[in-house]
Structure formats: C-alpha cells, structure tokens
Structure 1
C-alpha cells in the first residue's frame, strides 16, 4: 500500500468529513489491510466489520480499498460493488461520498429502482469505479449483457447494514447472487458492515458462504449507552395523556432536536398529531410517506430547526440525521438489538455516550420489559449473549425459484448439476436436497418458466424472463382505506398483509387510538363501526409483529416474580426507583397473592367469566412471542381435537389467553400439557393449526406472488380461494415452511413441554369470580393495543348517536317537486317543517338520493305529459319499466316526506336506507334517540350485506 496515497486520502477525509483523527474502527480496519497487503496467506479471507452506528464504518472500509486500488493503479471499472438494504441509504451514501471520489478522479454511481433510463444507459456505456445498488437491483445487474464484462473486474463487494438482510429472504437472494457473481468474475473480497449484533460467527458464515473464510473486526464493545426509563404515574389521567405529557416534559428538558421512535406507523401518526396539537414542531417519518416528505423530515432533523421527528424503523439505519444528543423510544422496543440500534443514533462522535429514554405505558409488562431491555441495551456492547440471535431462512423455495431463473438467464443454458453447485454454496441453501430441487424444477416447467432442450439442459422461457424482472422478495401490497360508517370519515389505512391475516367481517381491531368492528371489506375499502363490546374476541392490531425473545421474557418474569414476593432484586435490575414503581403498581392489587408466579416452574392459571357469557383462561409461561404463540396454537388445536371445544386463542410474550362461549374447566389445560408427544408430532399439530388459520391466507398470497403464480391485485375473497387452490402444491409447502419459521419457536415450546413431563410441574388454578388480576388485564391490554385504546375502547352510545345526528344534520339533500319539477338542495339542518316547494308551495317533494339527472328528467317528462292533457295512466304507461321503477321510488319518498316532514328526510339520508326501510323505521320509533338508533342499525345491516345488494 502506497504511503503517498494513504496520506492523500487521509488528508481528503479530514478536509471533506471534518475528522481530526481516525476513529477506532477506521484505525483497526486500515491496520488490517496493511497487514493483508503484505500477507498472501490471508488474501482470500472475507471481512466482517462490527461497529456502532455513527462510528465511521463506511469510511473505515473505503479508505484502505481506495488506497489499494490507487496504489496498484487498478482502475478498471467496476472495482467496488456496494450493496445497501434501502434506496434511501443508496442516495445518502452517494451524497456523502461523491466529493471524496471526485477528488481522486474516481467515478461513483447508483443503480436502483429509482434510477432513470438515461442514467442506467450512462452506467452501461461508462461504468463507474464504485457502483451502489440494492439487493433487488443486483439481480438485474447480474444478467445485464452490457455490464457482464465489467463485473469480472470487481475486487470488493461491500454489504452495508448486513444485520438487516441476514434474517429474511432478501438476504438469501444476496447470498446466492454473490455465488453467481463468483462464478464469472475473478476472486473478490466480501465485506460485511454491521451494527452491534448477536452471534457474529453466524453472520460471517452467511457472508462468506459454505467453505468461505472470514475475519471479524468488532469494536462494538467500545460504545457506551445511557438509557433512562421514564415511568408514568400509576394513577391519574388516561395512559395516552400521561405518556404524551411525559414526552412533552422531556422535550423541554433535553437538547433538541430529538429522534422519537415508535413501533408502528399508526402510532407515529397518532403521536405526531397529539404532540403537534401542543405547539411542538413535529415531523413524522415512515415507509408509507412519500419520498419528498421523508426527505423533508430528514433535512429538518439534520438542520435542527424542529423539536423532533417521530419515526418507525425507517430511520434506524445509517441515513445521516446529523449529530443528535438524545433519542426517545415510546414503549418497549421489544428487542435489545432495536434499542441499541435506535439509541445508537445519538452520541455519534467516538467516545460519546449514546443517550436515550424509554417512555413506558402503565402496563406492568411494558414497564418491566422496558426496564429489562434498557439494562440489556446498556450491557450489550460488552455481552453479545444479551443480543437476539439472527434467524437465517432455511431453503426458501421462492428465493430458489427466482435464482434458478436468474442462473439460466446468466448462462443461457445450464444443467441441473451446475445450478445445484452454485445454490449450495449459499449458507441459506447449505442443506438443500436434490429431491427438493427436482420437485421445484418440475413445478417451474409446468409453470412454463423454464424448459428442457433436446440435450437435457435447462433454459429460461420468455415467461421466465418476465417473472425474473418483475418479481422481488419484497411483496408489493396495496392499502385499504378504513371508513367509519357513522360519520363516513376515513380513519386511516391498513396494509394488505394485516387485512388478509387478521380481518374478517365482525372482527375487532385497533386503529387511530380506537377499537373498530369490521362490517364489510371491499376492493380497497374497509367499512367499520366503533366497537361496543368485546363479545369474546381478541382485538387485532399492527404492533404485535416485533417478537420478544424467550431470554428477555424470562428475565421480565423473574423481575416481576421478585416484586410479587417483595424480594429486593440484585444489582442486575439496578435503580431502586424501578423496583419501587413496580411495587407501587402491585400494591394496589388484591388479586395477586405471594404464591402467584409467572414462568415455567409453576403453571399458574386464571379463570374468568364476563357478563356476556364468555369464559377466559389465562396462563403465563413467559416463552417469548414465538414460543407463546406456538403454545397457544398447540393448546387450541388439542382442546378441539380431544374435547371438541372450539376456542379463540391469543398470546403475548408472557401470556396465553383462551376464550370460549363454553365454560372450559382449566384442568383441561393440565391434561393437554401433560400429554407426551414427539417433536415431529408437535410440528404436525402446529402445521395443522396454521393451515386452518387466517395467517395461512397471507403466506399463500405472499409466496404465490414471489413464485410468479399470482398477480399483485388480489381481493380478500380471492385470497381465501387461492389458499384452497394451492393446497398440497409446492407453493402451499413453502407458505407453511415460512409460517412455521416466522411465527413459532418450536424448540422453545418443546423444551417447555419436556420440563412439564419430567418435573411434574404443578398447575395452580385461580377462579376470578369478580375481576381479573393485573397480569390478566395487562395481557388483554397488550393484545388490544395498550391503554391508550383501552381507556376509550368503547364509545358511549349517546356519543355514537350524536355523531350520526351531526352527520345527518350536515347532509346536503336534493329535493324535486313532483308538481312543478323545481329542483333545489339544502342541508337538512336548514329545512323547517312543513316542507314545501319554494316555487309552487306543493308538499309533494321527492328525495333524489343520488342526485342523478335521470330522476330529474323523468319528473319533467311526467309533468310535460300531464300538462298536454294526457291522463296519469297514459303518462305512466309511456315510461319504460326502469323509468317506472325510478318514479315509483320518488313518489314513495315524497309520500313519506309529506306525512313525516323533515324526520323522513333524516331517515332517507341514511346510507343504504330506501323508502321501505325508512317507512319501517318511522313506524317504530318513539323519540329522536330511538330514531337514530334504528338508523344506525339499518346502516350497519346495509354495510354487512352491501355486496349482495350491489349484485
């Protein structure tokens, strides 16, 4: 390595980026490359660099690479391929590095989904030294004929934020793509850049592939965190106001601007609205917002011209947001890796402490989980075992299918053996069997994606080429607008995945701080009403998707057990105030006795029946999100099989909840749990449970899209149809495999069951005749979207009636005089009884509900006919059947208005209410309240049966 170039590059970095001296990771990586330059033995090793956010990882790796290629005058493009998981990171990286590359006359370019045709043509004609791309665009680059010869020159492939790719299918796509690249380029060095992560060796194996060698430079232990948990008052106003006030108070005390993280988009918008209404300068940032809005929020945050940006995971990664001093996390982030990544966005300078705050709700599980995760986050840099371990997908067949077509397009033709040799070098497919590949190839031939030539070689078809170009492992989903039928206003929007997995007519779900019941789901709209009661249902909400690992759940339950028994915890839980706060919450609970225990040493079961006749069973095994979910599916399935009892099951990271309209004896749980089965049988039972669940619909739709068997646009009904259509196919099997890996932790569940079988674990049953314990209530709160929803979960009937009354009063209606044909519009609130035509004074006013011109023309046609001396019978007979039907409808509305005045108009203006229904409502009601209640009932019935009426 040339010391001259080293000096020049260091000078440029100091000048452009303002570095006074190199950071620790930059020094270590530079020293590593110096040693590597002079050592042939280590030349073929790959490199994994682990360092905290903001430590300068990107420059750490590019600095020695630039020195190497400039020293060797090795400037044949493309020399460096730089892969990031997000297009926004591509843009941010290009903006930061352009000046550095330009200072050495080196070219740099971006190729991703937003790159224009002209820019792509320029890259093909004059490739850069460094090409920045995404996992998706890499797939196209590999088969681009214009770039193929330049890919041979690649010496370095850098995968930035590799921790974000390792545990999903996009990562497996990159893994196979690197093996494909290796097959037609000279030997290149693979470099992974990662934030703090658990089990670095697994990441190294993923990076290098089967048989690859790698080194690890890990400086994450040098980063210090100071994470404070802000505890809410255990009494007083509702939970929403308390945590909003806590954030507002915090913003007054700490240095701004601040990055505030939440776990869902809905919560980002909701909290943004609440804080903005208090006069704070707030921007929101999440993936559903337009690119311009996201860029504006990033710019304002970097400038420091606002108080805070509220973000989801969209700002977790390395997008430059300036030098922040503080980060706030609202409620538990649910994972240690998330709190480290998020709080690590503050204190960017080396040796600067990353300062953060977790503002909890009053939910006892959320408080304890926040305390445990904050403590683990502070210690994680020194103890990697406290971090969640990445889960690498095993043999994902949708990825395999996409890559097979890619290989065939890359080589024009190939044998099965050649395909197998490339694929099996990827760590994701190290266990792939020949039988599975054979079955997939047969499926692809049947789908006309590939074909065999006369020599038995495989080649891609035209359809296969279209599939390869049009498909990625990111499933594009549409949005559903959610409409409140009471006031016809849009509440918010839901992703297709949530709708297909979670919603059916009559389901209850959480959105925009309220509970809603689904009336009907149409092509792109969901019609809902405010939920009035649970009716034995567990509400669905979007925030349940981030899993809590078993070790975190166990520590949370251990902490709570100490508090229950009034035992002072050791220093592992530090700060007395946290312990005292939990004690204060529990001290108000008469339902928690000292023998109450969370976890797997005792199976503590609570039984409760509500006034609606629904029976609840709660247990607290603390197996984490995936372990408890597996247990809930297992118990539900076994109770149905053995006892023929149907239940609704739900789970949190700590509890399993069963609900039934039958009074299930909790001893049934003991029988189910004590029944010994093999692990294979357990997996079969879980597979059966998934196959009959709504979750399976989504996995089928998702996998079918990724395997080219389904178009993007699919209705909820079609999703159900396809779920049955693809049963027993390779699509079904892959969907089941995906669901098993994502939803359940089978090992954790089987370990739990084995403990019960071997230790004779006691089952303790408590019958809660009058009220739930704090842990049961907290579990329902978590299942329902936390206290901010629970405080106002059911709107009082008086308020519902007032909302409809206001909406109808404000409705503008069109009236047609059947005597003179005069047409006029008024708001209902502006009309006074008796209702008469403002031109001729007639009381025969018809309501033109849809304001259609045809109704107006029919009335005028009738009046003209009568005015020329024709009889009513002759006039009526001159109309077509359809015109007669319309006129009949108008005359019926006129009759109702003449008899009942404005009240009739009030009813007729209701959605889906025609003259017949209006007459029935008007004949039944006693007062205005009863009238409005009947209108609400009629509208609700219409939305439930709307599709049949429209047919």
Structure 2
C-alpha cells in the first residue's frame, strides 16, 4: 500500500482525515500504471482518489504540459470539481495550474490554453473532441499522463458514451501510455463497464468500495387522497413543503423541466414562511444556474426544485434531505439522486419518495426494496452508433491528413466499435468523402480530398468550420432564447424554450418560466420577448425527450411486488385498498402472463394490456395492435399508454380468438413494416442521424438554422436517398436508431416472445380499479395548454376515478 508524502499527510491530518485503504490502493495502482474503474458510494472521496496521484506527481513539477485530463458529462460538474480541487492545491501551495474548458469558456481563454495548457484540464466530451480537431492537438496531448472519466455510468449505452470512447481512442493515438481512471457510484454490471472504459481487449481493473451506510428512504404518508392518475403530486404539496421546513437543506427532484416549473410555483404558493427556494434545470441561462449553484454552495438556500441536471456528482455536503416527486423510473437513477444528501461517508442519506399516483407508489416501493437488497440497474453496452464515425473521421483529418487505414485502427480501439466491419467503415468513409453515390454530384458533400501520398484532408476551410461548430451527439430541438423585458426592449436572457412551444403562443399569452409568470410579446431575432406578468392560466413549456423510461429491472420489481401480497403492508393504506379491490373484482397481473381486461365504457369497449414495459414499448404495441384490430374489423378508435400498460378503445369487443391473434410476435412483421414505412418517425430519426454525421448542420458562423429549416433539408435528402440509394448506410443507421430509441423494439420483442400463449383475458362489466389510472392517464410531456387548467383537469379526473371506484365497491357489496 502506498503512503502519502509528508506535505499531503499534514493536510489530511489538519482535517482529521486519514488515507483510506482504497485511496492508498488507487495510489499504488497509479504508480504501477494500472488503469482502474473505482466504484464507491457518494461521499467516499472518489474524486479526490482520482486526482490524488496527479497532485502528488505534480507537487514538485513546474512543467508546461498537460498532465491530467478530467472528463465530465456535465458542465456544472466541471465547475464544482474545479472549486473542490482548488482547495487542497491552495492550502498546500502546490504549483499546479487547473482550468476548465467547456462551451462556456471565453475564446481568449481557449486560445491561451492551447499555447500554455494547464497541468489539469477539466472538460466535457464535446469540448475535448473540439480540441482534438486542432493541428496542435499532438503538442497539447502528447505528454498526457492521466485521463479521469467521471460518472461513467451516465455514458454507458448511449451515443454520447460512444463519442467519448472515440475521443479516448484518439488520445491513445496521440499519447499511447496515458492512464485511464473511471469514477462512478452506481454501476449495475462492473465488469462490462470495465471493458467499455479500456481500449478494445484491455479492460481496466476494478476497485469496489462497500457502501457501509444504506440510505434511509421512506414513501410519503399523506392525509390527503392519492390520485389515480396525474404527474404533479399536487395532493402532497403541503406535505412536501412541511418536509422542507423540517429539514435544513433539501433537493427536490422531478423527472421533467415542465414538472420543475409547475412544482416550483406550487411550492411558492404554499411558502408561508417565505423560505429561500430556487429552481434549477438545463434550459435556464448559464448565469441563472451559476447564481443558484453559488447560493447553494454558500448555504443561502433551503431548497432547490431540480431535474436530472443536478443528479450527478455536485458536492454539497450540507444537503439534509432529498425528495423525489414522481416515480423514480430506475433503481440506479434514484440512488444517484439520493446520494446528493449527506455527501459524507458513513452517514446515511435521507430520502422521501412522493408518488404522484397509485401505480407510482408501487414503483417507489419496488425501488426501495431493490436498494435495500443492494441491486442496481442501468443501460448495457451495445455496438457503437455508426453516425458518429463520419464526424470522428472529419475530426481527425481536421488535425492532420491521414489514410483510411490509420483512422480505422483508431476506431477499432474504442470498445463499442470493436466489431465494426471493414465494409461498414468503407461505406462510412466514402460518405465522409463525397456523400456517397446519390449525393456526390452536390458540391456541399465534397468534404474530403485525396493527396498524392494516399492520405486525405478536408476539402476546404469551410468544411473545417462547419464541422467544429457542430461537434457532438446531442441534437437539440430548435430553441429560442427567452429575453425577459423590463423597459422598452431592454432585458436579459434567462434561458431558452423549444421552437414548437413558442409557435403555440400568441401575444398576451402567459407562461411559466424560470420560476415566474411571463407574458409573451413577440419573437425577434430568434429570441422570445416576454415581460413579468400576473396573468392567469399560464402555459407550461414542455421539452422533447424529457421522459425517463421505466427500467426493465424496476418493471420486474413492480410485477414481483404485485404478486407478493404480504409486502403490500409497506404501501400507503389507499394503495393497499386499491389493490385489494382489484383482487376482488378482477385479478392481480401475474408475473408469468399478461393480464388483458375488457369492459364497456362511454359507448365503446376498452381493452387493457398490463405489460409493465415502459411508454415507448407500449406506444409501439398500441400502434401495431390497433392496425391488426382494423384488419379484424374491430374498429379501434384510439389508444393511450403509461409505463405500466396500454389502453385501447374500440367500437367492437374482443373475444378469446381475437386475443390469440393480437398478442403474437408476428405482429412485428407486416404490421410493423407497413407502419414504419408510412410513419414520420423514420424521417425524424434520419434528421438526428443527418445532424450527427455532418450531412447537415444546425449552426454555421453566427447563424443557427431553425428546426423547420433543418427538417425541410433532411426530409429532401431522405426522399432522395430512398429513391436513388436505398441501401445508403445512413438509412440503415436511421432505421436501427428508430427501432432502438423511438420504438424500444428489442424490449417489446422480448416481451411478446416471453408471453406468447400466456395471456389471461378478463371480460368485466365495468372498469377495474387498476385500469382507472391507465384509462384516465394525463401524460406529463403533453402539458401544452394552461397550467392551471391542467391541474383542474386532474381534479376532474380524480372525481371521475372516485366515482368509478364507488361503482366497483357497490358491485362487490351486492355480491
């Protein structure tokens, strides 16, 4: 085991700390050049463990090269790490220069960093890839010793993670012997992540620290009636506020930015003690977010209502309580959020879960059981996204000319791309050169030109500029800056909303944003101008992609809970009664079959499919089943989905024979193909692929295309390729993305195969208790109307749900 140098030992002692065994092990591994994935609970000192070898190595060195690179998935996290890292450096007077490099870094500072890099640079994947595109990248990164990748779990199984592994592969080409260190608190499959983190065939070693303090988690017990549907938990606002009053400092997590805005308003309407409560989400301006971060760090706030923007790594040691409003959707995600409380080792975090409705109460209890058993869930590693490859090719060649074989070898070094076939790479390379067969006639797609020595370089400086302004995999919906006007047309930017929301507004409309009521005036120069107002019935901005999917593991947990009645006693009394009524009136969905209920309702027949497979899979299943129902003459009218099930309304009823025909894996054949070819989703998926691959761009110079302009352009290209080059590599990528991201086809196919011939059909006289939340579901991401009206609608649905339940009670009492 390694020991600390005396200077560091004194610093530890002054704080009453001692070097922990795993920290000593991290030092030892760094000294022997052993790459490591450190998995340790929040508050265990992961970040210091990652940086300690670098600080010790740099204590007596006054060098001019970049020694350590820290990669974070969040800009806010780089600022937080910078603040925490500077404390020991300043207190020990170490000659170590630390700087951040993100999209917010001023251009003069970026230029200086290239000429004189700091010893430690804190950055994001996108900013790193931009730096790698410069001609001086070999000089900047050539002597790199260590790369620290924080919150590794958040990069697994998504395009941004694939993008990051390619950046790591490029760094290895420039500095072959640098050391990789991964940090994470929540990892479901450590060995798989260790493989992902290392170069192909060279997994990093694992170091896991046992969590000695299990969090204290409880479900809110409220005297108010818990609704059947809805997403805001308005019934519990008084209870949430009282929990904030009783705690010192509280983080209140919700799942979407629309929910954050609404909940913030509801809490302030309850805030009789005028406690300092703030709002934080990714669409607020950088200045507003920094102000909130600073106030929180200095102890000026009692609570923050926030989204996933604050669930990663931010180190605020005095957070006393985490409240999760709404279903957690995943065990690891919930644990990550809970870890924000009591950011200290050996102290249990305190958390309160507030289900918005009765199904969510089941999900909360299943998550608590999983955490108690030490279980985790999370995304799994999959093959790397192919649309990133052209971007990576151009990025490498912007730095210096290279041959295709040289770039191909670097790509294969990234673990998600180890299976990339030579033929696939050739197609992607040719697309990068000239767009391929159907597009090569257009000058716009002539991006690379060959040189006499067999290498290639960008065809023009314009190609380089276009590429650098559009680096990354995060395809944003078209957004408008929100300018808060005070006098005349003077004001300040407070954040941004998406174009489609702005297009719904007419002058005089009010909406909630940044925690206040604003009145819309006009859109000028890609800015939405609005003034503070006290109007009623505000609209709530909602954001594309804001929904969190229900994890497969947690879905299985809900099924298991339903089939273990002895565990129902842990649930709120209202939920226990609801399940007992379901058991008496129909049946509880089983773990080994799919319950399908049917009942007459509002001059039609409703069928309920309890799948527990998440919204995306249920949405796809609804599309396919209704198409087959049309062929069977059942005249389907509509369907609605939740994470837990699918409800279909039709003019004609089902029978057992229909069930056998509808719930079959072959529904993924003709019905799926017909639907996908005619649905707009392939074009939507292609638009994302076109932007990531560089086929089109969102930004060029100081202008930014509207999403309408981007869509018009990519739709034309899509139609051209479909007609003239139907086997184009990007069409295949778009199809694969649609099946995975939009349709969740793998999950749906697994379910259909698992339950083929295993359905239980119940023909009921009335809607069942468990069907009520699904039939009356209000989708959180569809709140595009008046905010107050949305809450009134929920109250109406609540009354209707209670009436339904009263009917069931009456039927059961008659029996």
TM superposition score category, shorter chain reference: 0.7 to 0.9
Question: 2:280–2:306: 8 Å Cα contact kept in structure 1?
Answer: yes
Q: Which residue of 2 aligns with 1:125?
A: 115
User: Residue 252 of structure 1 is aligned with which of 240, 245, 248?
Assistant: 245
SS at match of 1:54: coil
Distance across 2 between alignment mates of 1:494 and 1:686: 34
Question: 1:632–1:649: 8 Å Cα contact kept in structure 2?
Answer: yes
Distance across 2 between alignment mates of 1:326 and 1:89: 20
Question: 1:260–1:329: 8 Å Cα contact kept in structure 2?
Answer: yes
Distance across 2 between alignment mates of 1:283 and 1:774: 38
The 5 Å alignment of 1:194-205 reads 194-205=184-195
Q: Higher mean Cα deviation, 708-717 or 197-206? A: 708-717
CA positional deviation for 1:283? 0.6
User: Residue 718 of structure 2 is aligned with which of 700, 703, 726?
Assistant: 726
User: Residue 777 of structure 1 is aligned with which of 769, 772, 786?
Assistant: 772
Distance across 2 between alignment mates of 1:548 and 1:29: 35
- After superposition, give the CA deviation of every residue in 1:420-469 in whole Å (9 maximum; x if it has no partner): 21111111212212222222222221321223345543322224312320
Q: Measured at CA, do residues 105 and 630 of structure 1 come closer, stay the same or move farther in structure 2, by a change above 3 Å?
A: same
Q: Which residue of 1 aligns with 2:138?
A: 148
Q: Higher mean Cα deviation, 161-170 or 193-202? A: 161-170
Q: Measured at CA, do residues 107 and 687 of structure 1 come closer, stay the same or move farther in structure 2, by a change above 3 Å?
A: farther
Distance across 1 between alignment mates of 2:649 and 2:710: 29
User: Residue 295 of structure 1 is aligned with which of 282, 290, 293?
Assistant: 290
Question: 2:605–2:653: 8 Å Cα contact kept in structure 1?
Answer: yes
Which of the pair is proportionally richer in helix? 1
User: Residue 84 of structure 2 is aligned with which of 93, 96, 118?
Assistant: 96
User: Residue 373 of structure 2 is aligned with which of 361, 366, 379?
Assistant: 379
Question: 1:480–1:495: 8 Å Cα contact kept in structure 2?
Answer: yes
Distance across 1 between alignment mates of 2:672 and 2:344: 48
- After superposition, give the CA deviation of every residue in 1:158-213 in whole Å (9 maximum; x if it has no partner): 11112222232222111011111111224111111112211011211111021113
Q: Measured at CA, do residues 541 and 291 of structure 1 come closer, stay the same or move farther in structure 2, by a change above 3 Å?
A: closer
Q: Which residue of 2 aligns with 1:862?
A: none
Q: Which residue of 2 aligns with 1:339?
A: 334
- After superposition, give the CA deviation of every residue in 1:587-636 in whole Å (9 maximum; x if it has no partner): 5x4x653651314634332334544x554321102234454444334424
Distance across 1 between alignment mates of 2:337 and 2:319: 12
Distance across 1 between alignment mates of 2:649 and 2:771: 13
Q: Which residue of 2 aligns with 1:54?
A: 43
Distance across 1 between alignment mates of 2:654 and 2:322: 48
Distance across 2 between alignment mates of 1:543 and 1:457: 40
**Structure 2 length normalisation: TM-score?**
0.80
Q: Measured at CA, do residues 142 and 52 of structure 1 come closer, stay the same or move farther in structure 2, by a change above 3 Å?
A: same
Distance across 2 between alignment mates of 1:231 and 1:683: 47
By relative contact order (CA 8 Å, sep 6+), the higher-ranking structure is: 2
Question: 2:157–2:380: 8 Å Cα contact kept in structure 1?
Answer: yes
CA positional deviation for 1:96? 2.1
Q: Which residue of 1 aligns with 2:531?
A: none
Query: Does structure 1 residue 698 correspond to structure 2 residue 696?
Result: no
Query: Does structure 1 residue 81 correspond to structure 2 residue 83?
Result: no
Query: Does structure 1 residue 792 correspond to structure 2 residue 788?
Result: no
The 5 Å alignment of 1:181-330 reads 181-233=171-223, 235=225, 240-253=233-246, 255-279=247-271, 280-281=274-275, 282-330=277-325
Q: Which residue of 1 aligns with 2:478?
A: 478
**Structure 1 length normalisation: TM-score?**
0.69
CA positional deviation for 1:140? 2.0
- After superposition, give the CA deviation of every residue in 1:352-372 in whole Å (9 maximum; x if it has no partner): 0011000122x2211111111
The 5 Å alignment of 1:154-165 reads 154-165=144-155
Q: Measured at CA, do residues 240 and 623 of structure 1 come closer, stay the same or move farther in structure 2, by a change above 3 Å?
A: closer
User: Residue 660 of structure 2 is aligned with which of 666, 671, 681?
Assistant: 671
Runs of 5+ unmatched residues, structure 1: 381-385, 483-491, 504-509, 514-520, 532-539, 797-951
Question: 2:214–2:372: 8 Å Cα contact kept in structure 1?
Answer: yes
Q: Measured at CA, do residues 641 and 494 of structure 1 come closer, stay the same or move farther in structure 2, by a change above 3 Å?
A: farther
Q: Which residue of 2 aligns with 1:603?
A: 594
Distance across 2 between alignment mates of 1:699 and 1:143: 27
- After superposition, give the CA deviation of every residue in 1:119-169 in whole Å (9 maximum; x if it has no partner): 123222222211221111111222333452241111101111122222322
The 5 Å alignment of 1:301-450 reads 301-361=296-356, 363-380=357-374, 386-414=375-403, 416-444=404-432, 445-446=434-435, 447-450=445-448
Distance across 2 between alignment mates of 1:343 and 1:579: 21
Q: Measured at CA, do residues 473 and 752 of structure 1 come closer, stay the same or move farther in structure 2, by a change above 3 Å?
A: closer
Q: Measured at CA, do residues 201 and 629 of structure 1 come closer, stay the same or move farther in structure 2, by a change above 3 Å?
A: farther
Distance across 2 between alignment mates of 1:792 and 1:98: 50
Q: Measured at CA, do residues 561 and 481 of structure 1 come closer, stay the same or move farther in structure 2, by a change above 3 Å?
A: farther
Q: Measured at CA, do residues 296 and 230 of structure 1 come closer, stay the same or move farther in structure 2, by a change above 3 Å?
A: same
Question: 2:397–2:457: 8 Å Cα contact kept in structure 1?
Answer: yes
CA positional deviation for 1:669? 4.9
Q: Which residue of 2 aligns with 1:517?
A: none
Query: Does structure 1 residue 736 correspond to structure 2 residue 735?
Result: yes
Query: RMSD of the TM alignment (CA)?
Result: 3.7
- The size of the alignment, in residue pairs, is 722
The 5 Å alignment of 1:570-585 reads 576-578=569-571, 580-585=573-578
Query: Does structure 1 residue 63 correspond to structure 2 residue 49?
Result: no
Distance across 1 between alignment mates of 2:501 and 2:359: 24
Q: Measured at CA, do residues 776 and 695 of structure 1 come closer, stay the same or move farther in structure 2, by a change above 3 Å?
A: farther
SS at match of 1:545: coil
Runs of 5+ unmatched residues, structure 2: 436-444, 483-494, 505-510, 516-522, 529-535, 699-704, 723-727, 797-815
